[in-house]
Amino acid sequence: MARPTRIWFLTRSWWPSQTGGVLVRDAQVQALKKLADVHIVTPDYGGPIRDKDATVHRIPYLPSRFSQRLYGVGERLGVIPDYLSPWARRAFSYLKDKVQAGDLVFATTGGEIGCFQLGVMLKQATSCRLVFNYHDPVTYTSVNGLVIDDRIHIRRDTLESQYLKYADWVFTSSKTQLAALIQKNPLLVSKSECAYFGWAAPVEPLATQFAEPITLAFAGTLTRIQGIEHCAEVVARNPRFRMLIIGNWRQYTPIQAFADHPHFSFHDSMSYEKCHAILKTQAHLGFVSLDGEYFGACFPSKIFEYINLGLPIFGALPEGDAKEVINSRGYGIATKNDVKSIEQALEGWSSLFWEQCKNKIAEERESWSLVERQSSMVARVRELLSQKVQS
């Protein structure tokens, strides 16, 4: 007897990691479970986690930290398609006799292309249906002619295009990214769409009232991609503002210069529950930043968390969906990520404007739930599952 159809969800990370990406992926899995049995396939990076749930398949990643660095260099130089490529080949050996033609493989990316590579191998071997879901652009591909940075690397646009030919449908997390992909791959126009993410689970709304000094809160991973130090420089010399930072600040050198400054308070990374408890009682503004026009194709998941909390938003962002949503919908102020622009934009915050933003977010908060935002994705996957298997 043929077994029921399965959805194989390929992701570079899964619980117990508590990144915004994992939170979103978990909510996607819950939505997809309404359509079929969902099996998660993810690298086992050598931690102690051993799932009791038989639907979570942790395939050993194996390499030492030293070889992980080598894989990263090999990726940039084009020696291997992706730092996850050895894992993808290992996962294929494990999955090739488990995935069937009637199944659907849902491959995600947050910059890596290894899950797409695995999805293509499975499609070639089994004729399964294949969906690509972009959380962010594939690193070392171009976005509207822009590249991620000036480090020496081999562009992966050709490789990406080769993989995209095998996809039955492609979802992006921003309209900017969708347009950039279609510009490079015109055939995608008939098999792609933007499906915004959203907040995963409702939380109690903001408890703070407007007061000065105004506290900007940043919660998440700090890297050069965010460029949070530009805003920090402004806050350090502006008595109207304070800055609350939750995350890996000890590992990010540019922000350590403010560690002893009276306008700043720091917390190490913590659970979402603890983070939300701090934000809703201590923050006036949720801060989000990206440093570079390339990242206009990204839509940071922390924006959805701020909306969930009812927290007005201050953004230092490139042109793109995230900046447009914040400004056009009245959720806050988003400006360029440079000192002068941030300095000028912060002067726009007043008690009246803050209340207006807070009320607008409260009014539209439910429309940004992930269930609501991903409904088109679920409908499309249902349609793909209903199609007859090509022999």
Same domain, 30 and 71: yes
Q: Element (H or E) spanning 320, and its range?
A: none
What phi and psi, each to the nearest 5 degrees, are found at residue 108? Answer: -110, 160
The predicted pLDDT at position 78 comes to 77
Flag whether pLDDT at 378 surpasses 60: yes
What percent of the chain shows pLDDT beyond 70?
Answer: 96
Same domain, 130 and 226: no
Same domain, 374 and 364: no
Q: Which of 174, 193, 142 is nearest to 300 (CA)?
A: 174
What phi and psi, each to the nearest 5 degrees, are found at residue 45? Answer: -85, 15
What angle, rounded to 10 degrees, do the helices at 20-32 and 375-386 form? 50
pLDDT digits (tens, 9 = 90+) for 12-41: 999 877 677 888 899 999 999 999 999 999
Beta partners for 334? 315
Is position 205 within any domain?
no
Task: Identify whether the C-beta of residue 116 lies closer than 8 Å to the C-beta of residue 371.
Answer: no
Is position 251 within any domain?
yes
Question: Rounded distance, CA 135 to CA 113, Å?
Answer: 12
Flag whether pLDDT at 187 surpasses 60: yes
The predicted pLDDT at position 390 comes to 58
C-alpha distances out from residue 355 to 73, 224, 306, 323, 343, Å: 49, 32, 15, 20, 21
Same domain, 75 and 163: yes
Mean pLDDT of 360-367: 97
Same domain, 82 and 122: yes
Same domain, 224 and 357: yes
What domain range is 376 assigned to?
6-199+370-386
Confidence of residue 113 (pLDDT cuts 50, 70, 90): very high
C-alpha distances out from residue 67 to 14, 73, 83, 168, 170, Å: 22, 10, 10, 34, 32
Is position 72 within any domain?
yes
Is position 304 within any domain?
yes
- Report the CATH number that the domain containing residue 322 is assigned in CATH: 3.40.50.2000
Is position 1 within any domain?
no
C-alpha distances out from residue 128 to 12, 116, 264, Å: 21, 14, 52
Is position 184 within any domain?
yes
The predicted pLDDT at position 48 comes to 65
Same domain, 145 and 181: yes
Confidence of residue 72 (pLDDT cuts 50, 70, 90): confident
Question: Rounded distance, CA 234 to CA 323, Å?
Answer: 20
- Number of other residues whose CB lies within 10 A of the CB of residue 41: 26
Same domain, 220 and 91: no
pLDDT digits (tens, 9 = 90+) for 234-249: 999 999 999 999 999 9
Q: Out of 221-225, 338-342, 380-384, which region has the weakest mean confidence (pLDDT)?
A: 221-225
pLDDT digits (tens, 9 = 90+) for 36-71: 999 999 999 886 666 667 899 999 987 776 677 777
Report which of residues 51 and 186 the model is more confident about: 186
C-alpha distances out from residue 108 to 13, 40, 46, 208, 275, Å: 10, 11, 21, 37, 26
What angle, rounded to 10 degrees, do the helices at 302-309 and 321-328 form? 20
Confidence of residue 75 (pLDDT cuts 50, 70, 90): confident
Same domain, 82 and 185: yes
Flag whether pLDDT at 177 surpasses 80: yes
Tokens of 21: 């990406």
Mean pLDDT of 133-140: 94
Same domain, 170 and 218: no
Question: Rounded distance, CA 163 to CA 167, Å?
Answer: 7
Is position 204 within any domain?
no
Is position 391 within any domain?
no
pLDDT digits (tens, 9 = 90+) for 262-304: 999 999 999 888 999 999 999 999 999 999 999 999 999 999 9
Residue type, 153: H
Same domain, 82 and 112: yes
Please tell me the total count of domains within the chain.
2
Same domain, 266 and 341: yes
- Number of other residues whose CB lies within 10 A of the CB of residue 278: 16
The predicted pLDDT at position 151 comes to 73
